[in-house]
Amino acid sequence: EDKVVQSPLSLVVHEGDTVTLNCSYEVTNFRSLLWYKQEKKAPTFLFMLTSSGIEKKSGRLSSILDKKELFSILNITATQTGDSAIYLCAVGGKSTFGDGTTLTVKP
């Protein structure tokens, strides 16, 4: 059975801090790893990673995949209050999701 574990489960930081969110996985049919941001209801897409070692960047967010060690990290630099959300990681043929990391950024 596919498994995705995210850590930490929750995180509270202050504006300007840098955070690193972790996602480890065990899947039988790896195709890609995706990160989503869920602020209220609908998760919105952040990154899709398919190859090891290639960093994806979008503004203050970046992510990288390690297919040998079966994990990915999502970095957010210079955090803002608008970054407060649940960050979800998904992998595998059935889009198996982790339980997410709840990030709270305080002013």
The binding site for another protein (CB under 8 A) comprises: 4, 6, 31-32, 34, 36, 40-45, 48, 88, 90-100
Q: How far is the CB of 98 from another protein (least distance, A)?
A: 5
> Integer distance in angstroms from the first to the last C-alpha of the chain?
41
Nearer to another protein, 3 or 106 (CB): 3
CB of 45 to another protein, least distance (A): 5
DSSP bridge pairs for 5: 24
Query: With contact defined as beta carbons under 8 Å apart, do 60 and 40 qualify?
Result: no
Give the nearer residue to another protein in terms of CB position, either 3 or 14: 3
